[in-house]
């Protein structure tokens, strides 16, 4: 019997003195923007009836999923945020007196801590729905989510790593284990890393089948000394996963990805390996990352 993904994670052991954990989408590969703009957003506008305020809807989607503190959050969490919070407050929506469509049964499912926020979770909720109205809403959302997945498969192809990713991985070879920590399915990750000939630089690739990012870090980091584990990520959830496990964090700042990788390659990588990364140096990087992802949208700030 072949090992399950969970077994593969549990069997990991250290081969180097240091460990670098790295996210994939939006961190190593410039895939976040194209996924949100070309796959998620058009079908959000179509399925949630936002055609009269399409421009505002696009601005809200980009803010929620790319340039705010909910970057990298689950797709259903950000759809709820857009429809209940961001879009109703947008100046274009208010000027046109547009009533943003609401989906109360879907929102209740998103809010319920017991819900599995995935296509499989939606299918389960549809079967367990107590009313036809709930079932109808959840089926509609499932159709949207499946359409998005189809679009991602059709559109997001051939995107290389950011400049200096490969060079950084080469410099880490022989000095640090490298583990991919991601919420993307494992097969998609393996295919992408192999396509661009960087999979060989990794000790392990962890996807959603192996648990959360925090669980990936917890399982792999236990074999290293304190201060010898660094997480590279581009979203607040990556930072939370790192701090939950008391490991160091290096931010790939959204909109400044090339500069972030250049800085890591030229300076931060050496500081990590020489054990001079922790402390004020790391705090300054995290503070800059925090400033780059505001809580409130620009149209509310201006108001």
State how far the Cα of 158 lies from the Cα of 151, in Å rounded to an integer: 15
Q: pLDDT for 249-295, tens place per residue?
A: 999 999 999 999 999 999 999 999 999 999 999 999 999 999 999 99
Three-state SS sequence of 111-140: HCCCCCCCHHHHHHHHHHCCCHHHHHHHHH
Q: What are the extents of the domains in the chain?
A: 5-30+162-292, 32-155
State residue 1's pLDDT score.
45
The CATH number of 5-30+162-292, from 3.40.50.1010, 3.30.110.40, 3.40.50.2300, 3.40.50.1000, is: 3.40.50.1000
Q: pLDDT for 231-248, tens place per residue?
A: 999 999 999 999 999 999
State how far the Cα of 288 lies from the Cα of 253, in Å rounded to an integer: 8
On whether the pTM is more than 0.75, the answer is yes
State how far the Cα of 118 lies from the Cα of 184, in Å rounded to an integer: 12
């Amino acid at each position: 019997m072949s090992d399950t993904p969970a077994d593969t994670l549990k069997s990991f052991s250290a081969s180097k003195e240091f460990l670098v954990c790295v996210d994939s989408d939006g961190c190593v590969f410039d895939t976040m923007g194209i996924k949100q703009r070309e796959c998620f957003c058009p079908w959000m506008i179509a399925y949630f009836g936002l055609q009269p305020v399409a421009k505002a809807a696009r601005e809200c989607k980009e803010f929620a999923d790319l340039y705010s503190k909910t970057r990298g959050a689950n797709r259903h969490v950000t759809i709820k945020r857009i429809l209940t919070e961001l879009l109703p407050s947008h100046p274009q929506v208010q000027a046109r007196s547009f009533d943003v469509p609401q989906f109360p049964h879907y929102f209740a499912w998103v809010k319920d801590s017991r819900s599995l926020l995935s296509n499989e979770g939606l299918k389960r909720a549809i079967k367990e729905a107590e009313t036809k109205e709930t079932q109808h809403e959840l089926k509609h959302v499932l159709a949207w989510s499946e359409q998005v997945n189809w679009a991602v498969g059709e559109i997001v192809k051939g995107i290389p790593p950011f400049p200096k990713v490969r060079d950084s991985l080469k410099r880490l070879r022989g000095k640090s284990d490298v583990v991919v920590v991601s919420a993307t399915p494992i097969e998609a990750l393996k295919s992408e890393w192999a396509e661009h000939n960087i999979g060989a630089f990794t000790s392990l690739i962890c996807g959603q089948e192996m648990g959360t990012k925090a669980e990936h870090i917890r399982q792999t980091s236990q074999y290293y000394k304190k201060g010898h584990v660094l997480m590279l990520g581009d979203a607040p959830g990556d930072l939370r996963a790192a701090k939950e496990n008391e490991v160091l964090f290096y931010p790939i700042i959204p909109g400044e990805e090339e500069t972030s990788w250049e800085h890591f390659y030229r300076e931060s990588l050496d500081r990590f390996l020489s054990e001079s990364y922790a402390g004020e140096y790391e705090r300054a990087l995290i503070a800059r990352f925090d400033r780059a992802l505001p809580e409130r949208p620009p149209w509310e700030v201006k108001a």
